[in-house]
Amino acid sequence: MLHSMTGFGDAQYEENGLSFLVEVKSLNNRFLKTTVKLPDSLAFAEPEVDRIIREYLYRGSITFVLHMRQTEEGGVSDVNQSALQSYISSLEQILTLHGVDSSLNIDLATLMQLPGVCQPRTYSKDEHIQILEILTKLTREALKRLQAMRAEEGKGILEDLEKQCRVIRENLDQLSGLTDGVVDHYRKRIEQRVNELLADVNLKMDEQMLSKEVALFAERCDINEEISRLGSHLIQFSDVCHSNNREQTGRRLDFLTQELLREANTIASKANDSKISQHVVEIKVAIDRLREQVQNIE
């Protein structure tokens, strides 16, 4: 099953006066890039969060954010009473010096935002263990929801990929029926042209030379091998799309689209027939659409 690289998942939990909200979002990226944003007091949990993300996801730019807020008395930060009193004393001195009533001008909410007043709450070893258990559970829940969204988007991508593969296959089948006719047409055309030129001088065409020329042309414009390889790549592409192994799926499909395009370009360079050229154009357009969609796959 294909998974898109874009998605979102969240999970929430409350305990002991604290509310935990985990949000995980993912965007396209050639590799797996993780960004984990935790409160300073929970920085110890970052390695474990990163490990869990890599357990669930293989590709994409992942942003993990933990929001914590107080629901009861306690809080997620401690107030530095000494720093707060120092700020208040300094402000009172300044206001008194300028003859301003300090009781009307000191805003406590503003003071709480000054550096050093609110400090991250420190947790005991037992609290570390408890919080890590909660965070691990929430991380897994959020990632499962993100995966579900990516899988749903992957269904739409798969439908479009299959549609473009059918277009390539249909045009490829048409090419197979045109290859022999190209050589026959070339032989008749060159034979007619040479006979017209020799008619005025009463000379006869050398059949051996004609056969040699036609053989060289047939070798130069033979595209049967490229058609076979292109068909083989299409089969591999379909197998990867329907594989249950998600690891490296996007990169494998990206490689196969490059190979498809390489074979199509080779056919285009050998094509000496307008009908073949038309089918090659349709094939290349479909391959370009495959390449665009593959960039969205995990």
Is the confidence at residue 5, as pLDDT, over 90? yes
Model confidence pLDDT, tens digit, residues 25-67: 999 998 999 999 998 878 889 999 999 999 999 999 999 999 9
* Weakest mean pLDDT among 173-177, 232-236, 276-280: 173-177
CATH class of 7-75+122-150: alpha beta
The pTM (predicted TM-score) of the whole model is: 0.71
Model confidence pLDDT, tens digit, residues 121-151: 666 777 778 889 999 999 999 999 999 999 9
List, as one string, the DSSP characters of 167-220. Answer: HHHHHHHHHHTTHHHHHHHHHHHHHHHHHHHHHTTT----HHHHHHHHHHHHHH
Q: Distance between CA atoms of 183 and 34, rounded to whole angstroms?
A: 57
Domain coordinates in residue numbering, the chain: 7-75+122-150, 77-118, 155-294
Q: How is domain 155-294 classified at the CATH fold level? A: Butyryl-CoA Dehydrogenase, subunit A; domain 3 (1.20.140)
User: What average pLDDT does the chain have?
Assistant: 80
Angle between helices 125-176 and 274-294 (to 10 degrees): 170
Q: Distance between CA atoms of 85 and 2, rounded to whole angstroms?
A: 59
* Weakest mean pLDDT among 6-20, 32-46, 181-195: 181-195
